[in-house]
Structure formats: C-alpha cells, structure tokens
Structure 1
Amino acid sequence: MENQSKKSTTLKLTDLKSMPIRTFWITSIAFFICFFAWFGIVPFMPDVVKDLGLTPDQKWNSIILAVTGTVFARLLIGKLCDKYGPRLCYTYLLILGAIPVILIGFVQTPTQFLICRLFIGFIGASFVITQFHTSIMFAPNIVGTANATSAGWGNLGGGANRLGMPLIAAAVVSFGVADEIAWRYSMIIAGVIAMIMGVVYYFFTQDTPEGNFKELKEAGKMPKLKKDEESFVSVLKDYRVWILFIVYAASFGMELTVYGTMDDYLQNTFGLTRSTAGNLVLSFALMNIFARTLGGFFGDRFGRLKGLRGRVLFLTVILALEGAMLSVFSLTTSFAMGIIFLIAFSITVQMAEGATFSVVPFINKKAIGSISGIVGAGGNVGAFLAALLLKSKSSLAETNALASNANLGEEAMKAAQAAAASGAVSSGYFIIGGFVVVTALTTLAIKFSTEDEKQVKEELNTVSKPVIDLSPSTI
C-alpha cells in the first residue's frame, strides 16, 4: 500500500481499464445510491404522516434518529476500513443497509417507522468509505480533487431524490398501485437497487491499486498492524483530527442545516411559494456537481505551490468566506441580493467540504479510514447542533408571536408567525456564520512536521501535474 507507482496521478474519467478510475466511478455511484435511499422518504413525508398517523413530535424524532444513526456508523466504519479494506466494508454496508430501506415499505406503526429510520441512517457512513477508497487510489497531486469530486457527485443523491422518488412513485402508480401507498413500493425499489450495488462493488473493485488487503497481507506486501488499538488511540489523541472534525461540522453540517430550513425561510422572508422555494434549494444542492470539486482542486493546487501548509491556508480562507457569506445573507432583505449571497454561500460551503478532504489524507496515512470516519461524523454533529439552535429560537419566537396576536384573526396570526420565524432563523444564520469564521481561524493551528512536508514533496516530484479530462488514456 505504501508503493505509489500504481496510484493514479490523473483523473481521466473515461479510462475504465484503470482500477483507480473504475473504483472512482463505482464508489461515486454507490455513494449516490446510499444518499438517495437515506433521504428517499423525505418527499413522501406527508403521505407517511397520513398513512401511519405520525404526530409532529414523531416526525421530528424520525429526522433526528436518521442523523444520529449516521454519527455512530461513520465513527465505526472508518476503523473497519483500516482493518478490512473499503471493498468488503462497502459491500456489507450496501447489502445490510438495504434491509431497513426495504423494511420501511412494510411498517405499520410509528414505532416501526422510527426504528427503520434509525437504521437507514447507517448508510450515511458510505461517505467515509468513498473518501477512504479514493484516498488510497490516487496520488498526492490529484487526491484532493478525486476525493472532492466523488463526494460531490455522491451528495447529489440527497437532492436527486426530490425528483427521482416521485418519478419512481409515478411509475409504480401506473401499474395500478394506489397513490397513498406508492411510497412503500418506492422505498422497496430503492433498497433493492442498493443491494444490487453491493454485489457490483464486491466483484468490480479492489481495495488498493496493488490488490485487496487480505491478499497483500498474506503476501507480506502490507504490514499487519499488531497494535491496531494503539494506532486508533493515537488518532484520537491527534488534535488536528478534532480541528477537522469541527471544520466539517462548520461546512457540511451547516450545509445540511441551512438547506433543511431554507425552504421555509425563503417563503417567510421573501414571500415565495413552496414550489419556487423548493426548486431554488434543489438547484443549490445540485451545485455539488462542480463546487466541491473546485475545493479539492484548489486544495491540490495550493498543496503543489506551498506544500501541506498551503492546503491548510486555502481551507482557512474558503471557510472564512463561507461564514461571511452566510452572515451577510442573513441580514439581506432584498430578494435579488439574497439570492446572490445564497449562491456565494452554496459555492463556498461546498468548496470548504472539498478542501477539508484534501487535507485529511495527509494527517496519518496509516489511519485514513479512522480519521475520515471521525471527520465525517463531525458533519452530522454540526447539523444536529445547528438544527437545535434554529429550532429553539424559531419555536420560542413563533409561540410569542401567536400569543401576542391571538385576537387579531387567523391571517394576522399567520403573518406574525411567519415574520417571527423569519427573524429568528435570520438571527440563527448570523450566529452560525460567526461560528464558521471563528472555526476558520482555528485551522491555522494545524501543523505538519518537516518530515511530512518533505515526503509529500518528494512524491509530488515523481508524478505529473494533476489532470482532469474525459479522453481515453491508460495510466
């Protein structure tokens, strides 16, 4: 695994004979399918509420459980990747993770639904395996770009389900299934697709460019870590890992929270219809096609110019810009200006995510999986805490607004509630933006040894400049 000769030094997307490129495509598609299934129930929640009789508390609890399951799964899966390799880990995650996705189509009670959502959240750990697999398939000159692109394209699954799941449901209905239960069949189909992808992953990828972990260990080409637990403890003691944990909470975590609350905010603040607001939020999510890749690309570019310190400096700058854009957006009352700063936030937050994982592979090359798991879990922890902040502020403001306008009629009460919610969330966004800027400054504390800098510089000198193209080529 230490041999760099077989790692891909380019990202030539049509070179499917190359194991790194083939793995890049398969892991990106697997990640897309996992996110598609993870958030697949979201477009059907009105149907689920009606079908199962969910209370508002049960609905919120299902959302929290889905995120909670992912935190623990990401922490665990990284360590398993270091030990057993990404190929087997992804195969088992896809096949076993598909089971609760399929079972949710058969639930009959709210409790059964909540249990399924908890276990469906485990497939969110797919992000960690994708980042681990691309990290060991690509050379230092291109690894940031490869990581960011695979993650960005995989993340599209979380937005594509807004369009894809209703289309699947429509197809199911065309075969005579009742509208109100089409969501059940749609989730079953999504689960079956994930299970099939697990089989594809097993047969068409391998752990490293040189072969699978098991065969490499048996051949003596990969050291067996006798002190595996000590290695993991050393990861936990590395302050840089926890800074990146907070950084990912401030980037991916904030993206999840902002997009999860943006529909209502745009309606309450600018008077948009639900359909228009939803389409705008979806379009921002689709920026993952290119924005996250840009973060990885510039991380690699700064790494080439200024070494590992350059990667950190770029992460600092782009994270600070993300926080500034969100804070300015929160203060904007003009719709046109609001959209401009929201676009700027979308681009910078996704670039910050890509830049984060252009740094991760260089913290400890013997524990990339464990580190990726911890950092990835940070995103979900950040989303959870930010959601609690916005929910608490908004709930209190809306309750007070309704109480103050109880005698003014239903329309006046709705208007007051919308204004209160808008003000509370705006204040929350401003606070979150400030937190992100402060987090950006903490990244400057990330240091690398002279030996690390020297080793990476030597590796870069042996490979070509990073290349991304669509032309057939052999590495």
Structure 2
Amino acid sequence: MNDTSLKANFLSFTGRAKILHMTWFAFFVTFLVWFSHAPLLLAIQESMGLSDQQIKTLLILNVALTIPARIITGMLVDVYGPRKTYSAMLVATAGLCFFFAAATSFEALALARFLMGFVGAGFVIGIRMISEWYPAKQLGLAEGIYKGMGNVGSAVAAITLPTLAIMFGGEDGWRYATAVTGVIALLYSIVYYKSVSDTPVGSTYFKPNKSGGLEVTSKRDFFFYLIMNIPMYGALAVLTWKVSGLGLLSELSANIVYGLLVAIYLFQARQIYNVNREIFHTPVEPVLQYNFKQVAILSLAYAVTFGSELAVVSMLPLFFKDTFLIPMSLAGIFGACFAITDVLSCPSGGFISDKFGRKTSLVILLSGAAVGFFAMSQIGSDWPISLAVVVMVISSFFLGSAAGCVFAVVPLIKRRLTGQIAGMVGAYGNIGAVLFLTVFSLVSPSAFFMTIAGGIALAAITSMFLEEPKNTLAEVMPDGTIQLIEVH
C-alpha cells in the first residue's frame, strides 16, 4: 500500500470514510435506543405507577443480556459479515423499542428492557467493519472515531427525549418519544444495508473455519479460554443476586437461574471443545497461530476502562450534589462532562496508539487513568469545585483514551476472528460495570474511586505483557494459499 493511499480524510463522505461515518451512525442509533428509557424513567414511573424497586430492576435488566449478546454478535458478524448483521440488529432494535413503548404492565416493560440488552452488542459489529476498510496505520484513529461518536447516542437520548415527550404531551408522551427512536432505527437499517459493503472491492472477507466458539491455536490457550469465560457467568449471577435482593425473584427462582448458568457454561465448554478438538491431535502451523494472552489482557483493560466509565457516569451527578451541595441540574451537567469527553478521548487514544505503539500507549494511558482516579478518591467538600471538575475531566480523558487504545489492538490479533475477539473484550466491559456498580452499592464514593484506581493499576501492569502486533498476520485464502495482512 503506497503512502498516498494512507492519507486519511476522515471528513469526506467517499470510500472508506463513508463506511466509517455510516457505521458510527449505526452504533449511535443502537445506543440512542438502548438508553432511551433512562431520561424518561420518572415519566414512566408516574405513567405506569411503578415502585422505586421496579425502576431499579429495569436499569439492571437493561444491561443483563449485553454480556452474552456481545459474544453471540461477534460470532454472527464473523460468519455473515457486518453489513447484514448490523442491518438485522437495527431491525431487531426497532422491534424491541416498539415493544417497550407499547408495554402496559411492569412484566412487559421488564421483558422488553431485558431483551433490549441485546442492542448493546451492536458496537461489536462496527469494530470488524472498520478493520476491513482501514489499514493498520490508521486503524486506531478510525476505531476511536467509531467508538467515540457512537457513544454520543446515550447523551443525545438524555438531551432530546424528555423534550420530545413534553412535545407529544400527556402521560403517554414517553411512549411516543421512545417509539421515535425505533422508527429511526428501522429506517436506518434500510439505508445502511443499501449503502455499505463488507470489504473494499477485491478484498477477501475471511470467515472462521467453524462456528460455536472462538478458535484457539494451542492446548494452553484452550484451557485459558475456558477460564476467561467464567467471569461472564459470574457477572450474570451477580445481576441475578441483585434482582432477587430487590424482592423480585424468589430464592427458588434465583437458585434455578444459578443452575441454568452452570448448565449453559458446561454446554458452551463442550461447544468450544468441538470447535477446537483438532488442536489436541494436530498442532497449528506457527504462521497461523495467535496468542490468546493478547485477548485476555485487552479484556481486562476494557473491563476497568469501559466498566468504570459506565459505573461512574451513573453516580457522578449525585456525588457532586452531595459533596458540594449544588443544584441537581448543575451536578448533572458536571456529571455529563465525564461521558462527553469520550468524543475526544477515544479517537485520541486510537491516534496515540497508531503513532507511538500499541503496548506503550496502553500502559501509559492506563497508568494516567489510575493516578486520576486516585486523585478523585481524595475529592472532598473542602476542594474548590473547579479543581474537582478538572480532575474528573482529566481522569475521564485518560480512561476514554485507554479504551480507544484497546480497540486499536483488537482487530490486529486474528482478522477472521475479529468479531468474536471484539465480542469477548466488549463483554468484559459490561462485566467490569457490574463489578464496579456492585462495589459502589457497598462502599463510600471515596472507596469506590480508590477501587477503580486499583483495578486500572492492575490492568496497566498486566498490559506490560501485551505483545506489540507483528508486521503481518496470516490468513488462509479460499483456494488454500496463505495471505499476509499488514498490521504494523
């Protein structure tokens, strides 16, 4: 690839830039719908006569399915390609949105929010799409733009939907406001399907040899992979425990769910063995091998970055209100600054990773985030509020940049498995959120920030063992020849 073809014009709407913009908007729409209920919870509560416990349950259910959904979506995108998978995801997103808007009982609302967790997996699809279109030297920045712009969907929902609900008026205003986001998803599914292709003309879309689990390339990695799946089921068990703690699941029902989680894990382990049984008899050629350690390190890094971001965003407004005794509206603006920083931090992290190396960038950005959260743990009412906001924004920038850096590496591990790897790393982001939100419910804000700082510091140390992507990775062409893809 010559230097001219490497010149990026991210502001144009042709070629690969068009694919990037079409795809981040698809991600934006899924997040717009996924978080459409949060700013309308008060209206929903009044309209449906829900208790505070039921509202808390809706919030928990909204993220429960996202963990397994990201794994499943990763498999689907690797097999069927991002164009078909994202279009289908947008159609499903619209359908679930209409189901939620039409719900007339708490049970229907709860089921809709639980199923809506699948929408949170749309993020994984774009990671594979962008990696097909952008060369390695621009990939970090492109993935960062995709992630940063898509995340804005939740902020736009918070700003626009309450106004829409008021415009429609009446106690059903929230239904019309959420339904509008479903209409947007449905229309955009058609636009996306007609406007993009999985790869540039002449490029091969590499697919997994088998479906049902991630292919690994050594016996050690097989057992490592089985261990890495356990926290996913652990997070779902914690969510079950939280729902039962709200009195909405009996002890018997909770125990049945725990038993089902064990059974599903064992079934998945069997599927993973079926996919990888050949490695126990025939070693994989060295040129086709990849190290699963890379996936594990990135999963941990994303668990502490995206996981802590989701947890912190939900508690920051109340933290500022209680610490500095300011109006809730002002506290909400300060809290929103933490999430909005993503628009700059994710692309910045990707750009830094492209320029200064994947491993070094990730270690430094994680270290900066750890120091930032240690500083946040020291915030008290005696601090000037301006200094507290500055510390918060700097911490958020390092955190978002580190998350952007993670997905600058994910597509460079094994091209045909990019969706599944992104699915696993993405699922760990939600595992981190469950873990940190559980910690927050048990300790003070200061101890909560300190716990996050410790988790990020651990991820920074672990990232020192990350291997810088080699010059090329190998994939087998349909005719059996080996193609080398530049990743440096």
TM-score for the superposition, normalised by structure 2: 0.79
Higher RCO (CA 8 Å, separation ≥ 6 residues)? 1
Structure 1 residues 93-139: Cα deviation after superposition (integer angstroms, max 9, x where no partner) = 00012111111111111111111111112111111111111111100
User: Is the CA contact (8 Å cut-off) linking 1:43 and 1:161 kept in structure 2?
Assistant: yes
User: Is the CA contact (8 Å cut-off) linking 1:97 and 1:119 kept in structure 2?
Assistant: no
Aligned to 1:438: 458
State the 1:454 CA deviation.
11
Aligned to 2:249: none
User: Is the CA contact (8 Å cut-off) linking 2:436 and 2:452 kept in structure 1?
Assistant: yes
Structure 1 residues 246-283: Cα deviation after superposition (integer angstroms, max 9, x where no partner) = 11011011111001110111111111211001111223
- Write the distance in 2 (CA, Å) between the matches of 1:130 and 1:323: 28
Unaligned stretches of 5+ residues in structure 1: 303-309, 394-423, 462-475
Whether 1:9 and 2:6 are equivalent positions in the alignment is yes
Whether 1:324 and 2:344 are equivalent positions in the alignment is no
What percentage of aligned pairs have identical amino acids?
A: 28
Whether 1:116 and 2:136 are equivalent positions in the alignment is no
Whether 1:67 and 2:63 are equivalent positions in the alignment is yes
State the 1:452 CA deviation.
4.5
Structure 1 stretch displaced more, 7-16 or 319-328: 7-16
Aligned to 2:321: 267
Structure 1 stretch displaced more, 443-452 or 382-391: 443-452
- Closer, same or farther: CA 50–429 of 1 in aligned 2, 3 Å: same
Aligned to 2:20: 24
User: Is the CA contact (8 Å cut-off) linking 1:232 and 1:370 kept in structure 2?
Assistant: no
- Write the distance in 2 (CA, Å) between the matches of 1:260 and 1:29: 24
Write the letter of the residue equivalent to 2:109: F
Whether 1:205 and 2:196 are equivalent positions in the alignment is yes
Unaligned stretches of 5+ residues in structure 2: 226-291, 476-482
TM-score for the superposition, normalised by structure 1: 0.81
SS where residue 358 of structure 1 aligns? helix
Whether 1:232 and 2:223 are equivalent positions in the alignment is no
Choose from 390, 413, 423 the match for 1:363.
413
Choose from 151, 174, 179 the match for 1:183.
174
State the 1:8 CA deviation.
6.4
User: Is the CA contact (8 Å cut-off) linking 1:8 and 1:139 kept in structure 2?
Assistant: no
State the 1:460 CA deviation.
7.3
Aligned to 1:415: none
Write the letter of the residue equivalent to 1:312: K
User: Is the CA contact (8 Å cut-off) linking 1:172 and 1:186 kept in structure 2?
Assistant: yes
Whether 1:311 and 2:294 are equivalent positions in the alignment is no
- Closer, same or farther: CA 454–390 of 1 in aligned 2, 3 Å: same
User: Is the CA contact (8 Å cut-off) linking 1:7 and 1:139 kept in structure 2?
Assistant: no
Aligned to 2:185: 194
Query: What is the CA RMSD across the aligned residues, in angstroms?
Result: 2.5
Aligned length: 407
- Closer, same or farther: CA 124–225 of 1 in aligned 2, 3 Å: closer
- Closer, same or farther: CA 229–76 of 1 in aligned 2, 3 Å: closer
Choose from 340, 347, 351 the match for 1:286.
340
Structure 1 residues 210-266: Cα deviation after superposition (integer angstroms, max 9, x where no partner) = 27xxxx8xxxx5566444457534586412212211110110111110011101111
- Write the distance in 2 (CA, Å) between the matches of 1:341 and 1:249: 22
- Write the distance in 2 (CA, Å) between the matches of 1:223 and 1:164: 40
- Write the distance in 2 (CA, Å) between the matches of 1:157 and 1:97: 14
User: Is the CA contact (8 Å cut-off) linking 2:207 and 2:417 kept in structure 1?
Assistant: no
